[in-house]
Amino acid sequence: MNPEILQTPIDYLKGVGPNRADLLRSELSIHTYQDLINFFPNRYIDKTHYYKINQLQRNSSEVQIIGKIIHLKTVEQNRGKRLVATFVDETGQMELVWFRGHKWIRESIKINEPYVIFGRTNWFNGLFNMPHPEMELLTDHERSLRTAMQPVYPSTEKLTSRGITNRVINKLMQQLFVETQSKFSETLSSSILNDLKLISKSSALFNIHFPKNQQLLAKAQYRLKFEELFYIQLQLITKNLIRKNKIKGFNFDQVGPLFNEFYKSYLPFELTNAQKKVIKEIRNDLGSNAQMNRLLQGDVGSGKTIVALMVMLLAIDNGFQACLMAPTEILAQQHYNGIYELVKKLDVNIQLLTGSTKTSERKEIHRQLESGELDILIGTHAILEDKVQFKNLGLAIIDEQHRFGVAQRSKLWHKNETPPHILVMTATPIPRTLAMSLYGDLDISVINELPPGRKPVKTVHRYDSNRLKVFRFIRDEIEKGRQVYIVYPLIQESEKMDYKDLMDGYASIEREFPKPKYQISIVHGQMKSADKDYEMERFVKGETQIMVATTVIEVGVNVPNASVMIIESAERFGLSQLHQLRGRVGRGADQSYCILMTSHKLSNDSKTRLETMVRTNDGFEIAEVDLKLRGPGDIMGTQQSGVLNLRIADIVKDNEILKTARYYAMKILKDDPSLSQPENRVLRHTYGLLAKHKNIWNYIS
C-alpha cells in the first residue's frame, strides 16, 4: 500500500463529511487516515457469548441476546413517556425500554425480524428489561466486520451529543480498512520481528480494532506498544550519538593543582563510593573530546554540591571558567555561601550574580568574566542575559533542571563558539523508566548513598487528634536548641481556603508558643520577596525557632539546626513533594523527625503515600511508587505535564517492553548508526516518515 494514502485528510473517508470531520479534528485530534488508524480503543467488551433470556442473572451485567420484537407500546410516566418493546426468544420474554428518541426508533424497528441486542439488564416488576440497547439485525450482524471482542473508543460529551457514538467510530474504522484493503506497510525489520516473534503491522492494526479473541488482542497490543517505544528510544539514542560524534567538546586532560589541593587539604569529609564513581564518570566524559551532557541524580543531602565543585575545579585547572545556575535567589545564595566557604583558602575567584545584584557590582562581574579573571560564576536566570559574556566558559552546571526549560539550556550552549560541558543536577529522583524516556539523550549518574554521619530522618504519621502530644514534642526539641518547620499546603484552586488554614494555624501556634520565649517566622506566597527573604534569614540565623510556611521552602533551604518537619494536611501533598519537604531536615548531626499530620478521612492513594513515607527514605523507591500512583504526566510537575503523549504504551505498566525496546534500539545503532544496512532500510524509512509527519519530540514536552 502507498503509505501516503494514510496522510489523506479525514474529510475524504466515506461516512465522514465536513461536520463530522470538524468534530473529529477538534475533539479527538483526528486529522488524517493515519490519525484514525492510530486511535486505539481503551477497552473491549467481550461479545463471544449469546445468552438466552432464561439464563439471565440479576447482576446488571452487559449481555448479548438474539430474539425478535413482537410488540411496541408507549407508556405515560410522571415526566414524559417511555417506549417499551416486548422482546422474545424461544426461552422467554423481556422488555426493551427507551426514554428518548421515540420517533426515530419507532420508524426504524422491524417487528418479528431477528435482532441481536446488547446492553445492561435490570430486573423490574418480575421481568428483565434493557434500557437503550445496541441493536443490529441478525443479517447485518453476520455480515459486518464484527468481532467477538467489541472495541470501546475514548469519547467526549460533545461527540456523544452530536451522534458520533462508539458504533459510528467503529463503522468509520471498518470503512478505513475497506479503503486501505487492510494492507499497511511493515515498519519493523525482519530481524526484530523474528527475534521477538511479533505479528506483522497489518495484522496488529486489524487485531487492535477487530480482535477475534483475547490472544490475538494481546499480540497486537504488544507489537504496537513495542513499536511506539522503540522509535522514541531510537530518536533519543540517535540524538545522544550525534552529539557525541559531531559536537566536539573541550578536552579537560589535566588534573591540576586546584583539584589536587582541594582533595588533599580542604575536602570536609571522605567522599562516599557513589560520589567517587560519579566523579570518575564525569572525568571520562570531560576527557573524551565530546561535549558532556550528563544528568546527576542524587537524593536530598547526598552531596551533589561537592561533586559540582570538584568538576568546576577541573575546568579551572584546564584554563576554563565555570558557572552554576540555580532556579531561585535563595538557592543561588546558598550555593555561593557553601562553595565560597570550601574554596576561600584556594586561589579561586568566585562571584554571585542574581536579579538583586547592584549595578556597580554587576558591571565589575561582567568585566571580570570577559577578561577571564573570574573563575566561577554562581547565579540565577540572570546568567542567561545577553550582557553576560564569558572569556571561555568550559562547564555549565544547572541545578534542579525541571525548573528550567530546554530553551534556557540552549542559551547556555551559545555563550561560546564551542558549547560548554553541561551537568544537570536534580534532587527529584526520577524513576529509571521515566529517566530513560525523558532524559534518554542525557547520560545519567546517580548518587545513591548519604555522606557518613548523616542519620536517616525518622518519619511518623499522626492524626489531628494527637496534636497536643505533637506540640509537647516540639517544645522538647526547642528546649534542646533545635528549630522546627511547620508546612501548610497551598493549592492554586483553593488558595483562599488554604491561606485561611495557614493563618488559623499560625494563630494557634502563637497561642501555644507565646512571645517573648518563642519567636516564629512566617513565609507564604502572598508576601513580597524582600519580606520572605527577611523571614528566611531570621530563621537561618537562629533568631526564630519555628518557621510556619507554605511550600515555598520546598527546594534547597539549608538549616542544619532544623531537626523537625511537621507537614499539615499531609494527605494533600504528592509523594515527591512530601519527600522533598522531609529533605529540609536531617542536614546536621542530630536525629531529625518528620511528622505527617492528617485527618482520619483518607483515600486509598493517600494511605499508600503516607505508608510509603513512613517505610522508606529512599527517594528512588518513593519515585517509583509516585509514578504508579500518578502516572508519568504529573511526575515532573506542571511544567512538564503531558510528558509523554503516548498512543498505546504506558511507561509505567509497560516498563518491561520499554527496556526491550531500548535494548534493541541501542543494539541496532551500535552496529549500524546511520541505519544504512539493507535489513535496517525499513527502520530508516519509517524513522524518516515519523520525523516528517509527527516528530517524536511532540511526545516529549
Q: Does 629 fall in a domain?
A: no
pLDDT (tens digit, 9 = 90+) per residue, 628-649?
787 654 444 333 333 456 788 8
Instruction: Give yes or no: residues 383 and 532 share one domain.
Output: no
Confirm if 33 and 4 have CB atoms less than 8 A apart: no
Clarify whether residues 466 and 419 are in a common domain.
no
Number of separate domains in the chain: 3
Cβ-Cβ contacts under 8 Å for 458 (sequence gap 6 or more): 591, 592, 593, 594
Average pLDDT over residues 487-508: 77
pLDDT of residue 701: 30
Which one of 138-147, 290-299, 423-432, 632-641 scores highest in mean pLDDT?
290-299
If asked whether residues 506 and 599 sit together in one domain, one would say yes
pLDDT higher for 528 or 281?
281
More confident residue, 187 or 148: 187
| Domain at 529, CATH number | 3.40.50.300
CA–CA separation, 539 and 534 (whole Å): 9
Q: Last residue of a domain, which of 81, 111, 146? A: 146
Task: Evaluate whether residue 669 is within a structural domain.
Answer: no
Same structural domain, 315 and 406: yes
For residue 492, the tally of other CB atoms under 10 A from its CB is 8
Determine the residue type at 486.
I
Give residue 356's domain range: 257-286+303-426
What CATH number did the domain enclosing 86 receive? Answer: 2.40.50.140
User: 397 and 482 in one domain?
Assistant: no
Say yes or no: 263 and 406 in one domain. Answer: yes
- Indicate whether 421 and 470 sit together in one domain: no
What's the confidence (pLDDT) of residue 342? 92
Q: State how far the Cα of 585 lies from the Cα of 558, in Å rounded to an integer.
A: 8
- Strongest mean pLDDT among 165-174, 210-219, 612-621, 651-660: 165-174
The mean pLDDT of 602-609, rounded to a whole number, is 90
Residue 388: inside a domain: yes
Judge whether 26 lies within some domain: no
Closest alpha carbon to 548 in 494, 589, 588, 508? 508
**Are 494 and 567 in a shared domain?**
yes
| pLDDT for res 358 | 93
Q: Are residues 264 and 316 in the same domain?
A: yes
Average pLDDT for 210-219: 87
In a domain, 69, yes or no: yes
Are 280 and 394 in the same domain?
yes
Residue 139 has pLDDT above 70, yes or no: yes
Average pLDDT in the 491-503 region?
A: 71
Length reported for the chain: 701
Angle at 439 between CA 433 and CA 441, to 5 degrees: 120
Averaged pLDDT score across all residues of the chain: 86
Q: Judge whether 536 lies within some domain.
A: yes
Q: Is residue 31 part of a domain?
A: no
Nearest Cα to 485, choosing from 403, 558, 571?
558
Contact 444, 282 (CB under 8 A): no
Q: How is residue 151 written as a grid cell?
A: 472495541
For the chain, the helix, strand and coil percentages under 3-state DSSP, each to the nearest 5:
45, 20, 35
Q: Which of 92-96, 258-262, 438-442 has the lowest mean pLDDT?
A: 438-442
Whether 398 and 422 have beta carbons less than 8 Å apart is answered as yes
pLDDT at 695 over 70: no
Q: What is the CA radius of gyration of the chain?
A: 32
Torsion of CA 239, 242, 248, 249, to 10 degrees: 30
Give the confidence band of 475 by pLDDT, cuts at 50, 70, 90: very high
Percent of the chain with pLDDT over 90: 51
Q: How many CB atoms lie within 10 A of CB 19?
A: 11
* Cβ contacts of 459 within 8 Å, gap of 6 or more: 582, 593, 594, 595, 596, 613, 614, 617
User: What's the grid cell of residue 600?
Assistant: 482520619
So what's the pLDDT on residue 308?
95
Percent of the chain at pLDDT above 70?
91
What phi and psi, each to the nearest 5 degrees, are found at residue 672? -145, 75
- 348-370 pLDDT per residue, tens: 999 999 988 999 999 999 999 99
| Rounded (5°) CA angle 49-51-52 | 155
pLDDT in tens, 380-423: 989 988 899 999 999 999 987 555 555 666 777 777 778 899 99
Whether residue 380 is found in the same domain as residue 504: no
User: What is the SS3 assignment for 402-424?
Assistant: HHCCHHHHHHHHCCCCCCCEEEE
DSSP three-state, residue 56: coil
Residue 161, burial from CB neighbour count under 10 angstroms (0-12, 13-18, 19+): exposed
Q: Which of 84, 114, 146 is the last residue of a domain?
A: 146
Q: Give one DSSP letter per residue of 156-218, joined into a string.
A: -HHHHHTT--HHHHHHHHHHHHHHTTT-----S-HHHHHHHTPPPHHHHHHHHHS-SSHHHHH
Q: Where are the beta strands (DSSP E) in 326-384?
A: 350-353, 376-379
On whether residue 9 sits in a domain, the answer given is no
**Residue 267 backbone class (left: φ over 0; alpha: ψ -120 to 50; beta: rest):** beta
* 701 against 119, higher pLDDT: 119
Q: Which residues pair with 98 in a beta bridge?
A: 83
C-alpha to C-alpha distances, 177 to 219, 353, 477, nearest whole angstrom: 19, 62, 71
- The predicted pLDDT at position 249 comes to 84
Provide the pLDDT for residue 643: 45
- Measured from the Cβ of residue 503, the count of other Cβ atoms closer than 10 Å reads 14
- Predicted confidence (pLDDT) at residue 157 exceeds the cutoff of 50: yes
Print burial letters for 401-429: b (CB count within 10 Å at least 16), e (below 16): bbbbeeeebebbbebbeebbbbbbbbbbb
Most confident of 213-222, 626-635, 690-699: 213-222
What mean pLDDT do residues 116-123 have?
A: 90
Which is it for strands 350-353 and 293-298: parallel, antiparallel or unpaired? unpaired
| Mean pLDDT on 275-288 | 93
pLDDT (0 to 100) of residue 140: 87
Q: Are 419 and 249 in contact (CB under 8 A)?
A: yes
Pairwise CA distance, residues 355 & 402, whole Å:
20
The last residue of one of the domains, among 89, 116, 146, is: 146
* Residues 381 and 499 reside in one and the same domain: no
**Which range scores top for mean pLDDT: 69-73, 214-218, 424-428, 550-554?**
69-73
